[in-house]
Amino acid sequence: MAIKVGDTFPQVQLKYIPYDSTDPNACKSPQILDTKTDFAGKKVVVVGVPGAFSPTCSIQHLPAYVTKYNELKSKGVDLVVCVSGNDFFVMSAWGKSENVKNNIIMAGDANGDLGRATGLSLDLAKVGLGSVRLTRFVAIVDDGKVAHLDIEPDPTGVTVTGVDSVIAAL
């Protein structure tokens, strides 16, 4: 069963590689993002996508969050997290290719922990992308509680999870 507005956002530990502005090509050691401790007392936008570098994610979804990051911050957002069923190295490379820098945490959910905990997993084995992926969603998490949640009816498109919908909900 999928999480819903009013629920406590599940505690999982995701991994990401911090961006290093002094050496943008560096591949640092992965860090832990704990959704309980790191979301506590903060307003967080969690953008779930099926796969890094995929056409919809790379053309329609993530770039708008990068472009409108400052607008999200002006609306009181403390942290933006983009998470996919890819590993943290792939997410780091995707973030670099999209010029995310330190603005958005690019976290990997390669084991499907977030997908299972939220009920927002997607089986894409039929199309060769594996059986543990996230569906396309966006959640506004305010001090650990789901304040807003949109799930794409068709994860191959971006109709309700785009940044403009999030800005309107803030």
Longest dimension (CA), the chain: 43
Strand-pair partners of 80: 45, 104
* Angstrom distance (rounded) from CA 27 to CA 24: 8
Which residue blocks in the chain are alpha helix, DSSP H?
55, 62-67, 69-74, 88-97, 113-118, 163-169
* Angstrom distance (rounded) from CA 102 to CA 81: 11
Q: Is 57 a catalytic residue?
A: yes
Phi, psi of 137 (to 5 degrees): -150, 165
* Angstrom distance (rounded) from CA 5 to CA 48: 16
Catalytic residue among 12, 44, 45, 57: 57
Active-site annotation, residues? 57
